[in-house]
Amino acid sequence: MLVTVSIISLLCTERISLLQEVYEQQKELILNGEKIVLSTLGFDFNVYHPYKPLVEAIKKFKVAQNALAQVAWNFVNDGYVKSLFP
């Protein structure tokens, strides 16, 4: 009886080890596939926000109360919707 339990335990341990190996291989394949999809679609998670340089330029050229400042701000906002900025 003890030998049977030991054999079953050993088989279960080997099966779990094999399943873990298969899981790790499949996980790596999925991660690599996701990277390929993201790079193919051109996903870039480094987002550049032009608001800070815009505010600095508005202050530098002293146009804060000017309609030009509002037009520039609107242009930046529209750029995100219409993909004007790379």
**Taking a C-beta distance cutoff of 8 angstroms, is the pair 58, 72 a contact?**
yes
Q: Which of 61, 45, 58 is nearest to 76 (CA)?
A: 58
Owning domain of residue 68: 47-86
* pLDDT on residue 2: 54
Regarding whether 75 and 53 lie in a shared domain, the answer is yes
Residues of the chain predicted below pLDDT 70: 1-8, 10-11, 44-47, 81-86
Regarding whether 71 and 37 lie in a shared domain, the answer is no
Dist CA 71 CA 32 (whole Å): 43
pLDDT tens figures, 64-84: 777 888 888 888 888 776 655
User: What is the pTM for the complete model shown?
Assistant: 0.42
Regarding whether 51 and 18 lie in a shared domain, the answer is no
To the nearest 10°, report the CA torsion of 34, 38, 77, 64: 100
Instruction: List, in order, residues 6 or more apart from 58 with CB less than 8 Å away.
Output: 64, 69, 72
* pLDDT on residue 86: 53
Regarding whether 84 and 67 lie in a shared domain, the answer is yes
* pLDDT on residue 17: 83
